[in-house]
């Protein structure tokens, strides 16, 4: 190796080290703030499906502490709260797989676990403009007030997301055209969560 090459490498290594240290320092200084922000955003989503709309950031922790109860069932948990109209709402965390990565969210039901109250997606890495549209008010609004079970079979979850097309029938919601795999992922996630919620419906506290 000639002398010029050695010097070039040395300069590169020094610059890279200085940059890496700068990054590590910034990250370390701000990590706590970022984690707090993420936790706050998560709580805000949870409160939204529980019927607490337009909550101020400063009130989130108070409401979480005083009005929301976390209830363990099996290896999982759900949240229980009484909304402004005095109705009990249950919120179940959802975990699923999309086309590109994990999808997380919350789905809330009434006390009987037979009607959907609301839904929110808190994490997704789907295609912007297509699959990513699952994280939008227009997608959420389709679920509000929908029946989960058919009247003639109250044990098998009936509601589903139409894979990449318009809904047909009373128990389907519109899928997103061009995002068939994402819709299938969301469909599985919602149905698994609701099935499990029903299986453990005897667990109250």
Partner 1 sequence: MSKIKKIFLNGIWLENPVFHQVLGVCSALAVTTRVKNAVVMSAAVIIVAALTNFTVSVLRKIIPFNLRLIIEMIIISTFVVIFDIILKAWFFDMSRQLGPYVSLIITNCIILGRSEAFALKEGPGLSFLDGIASGLGYTLILLSVATVREILGTGSFWGYKLISDADIPARGLSMAGGAFIVMGVLIWVMNSIKLSGNKEV
3, 56, 74, 128: which one contacts partner 1 (CB under 8 A)?
A: 128
8 contacts partner 1 (rule: CB under 8 A): yes
Distance, in Å, from the CA atom of 160 to the CA atom of 125, rounded to the nearest integer, reads: 21
1, 2, 3, 4: which one contacts partner 1 (CB under 8 A)?
A: 4
Using CB under 8 A as the criterion, what x/- string covers residues 33-52 for binding partner 1?
A: xx--xx-xx-----------
Distance, in Å, from the CA atom of 180 to the CA atom of 164, rounded to the nearest integer, reads: 4
11 contacts partner 1 (rule: CB under 8 A): yes
Sole residue written with tokens 């044990």: 155
* Residue range at the interface with partner 1 (CB under 8 A); choices 8-16, 58-66, 112-120, 178-186: 8-16
Helix (H) or strand (E) holding 119: strand 116-123
Distance, in Å, from the CA atom of 175 to the CA atom of 197, rounded to the nearest integer, reads: 23
Distance, in Å, from the CA atom of 167 to the CA atom of 173, rounded to the nearest integer, reads: 5
Residue with smaller CB distance to partner 1, 129 or 154: 129
**Size of interface with partner 1, in residues (CB under 8 A):** 22
Distance, in Å, from the CA atom of 111 to the CA atom of 124, rounded to the nearest integer, reads: 28
Rule CB under 8 A: which residues touch partner 1?
Answer: 4, 7-9, 11-12, 15-16, 19, 22-23, 26-27, 30, 33-34, 37-38, 40-41, 128-129
């Amino acid at each position: 190796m000639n002398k010029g090459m050695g010097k070039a490498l040395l300069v590169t290594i020094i610059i890279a080290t200085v940059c890496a240290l700068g990054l590590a320092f910034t990250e370390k200084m701000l990590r706590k703030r970022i984690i707090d922000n993420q936790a706050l955003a998560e709580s805000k989503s949870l409160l939204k499906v529980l019927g607490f709309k337009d909550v101020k950031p400063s009130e989130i922790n108070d409401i979480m502490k005083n009005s929301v109860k976390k209830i363990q069932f099996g290896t999982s948990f759900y949240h229980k709260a009484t909304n402004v109209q005095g109705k009990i709402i249950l919120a179940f965390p959802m975990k699923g797989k999309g086309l590109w990565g994990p999808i997380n969210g919350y789905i809330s039901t009434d006390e009987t676990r037979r009607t959907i109250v609301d839904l929110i997606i808190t994490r997704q890495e789907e295609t912007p403009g297509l699959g990513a549209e699952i994280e939008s008010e227009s997608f959420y609004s389709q679920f509000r007030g929908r029946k989960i079970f058919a009247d003639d079979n109250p044990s098998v979850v009936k509601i589903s997301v139409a894979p990449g097309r318009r809904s047909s029938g009373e128990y389907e919601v519109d899928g997103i055209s061009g995002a068939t795999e994402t819709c299938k992922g969301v469909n599985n996630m919602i149905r698994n969560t609701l099935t499990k919620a029903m299986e453990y419906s005897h667990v109250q506290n």
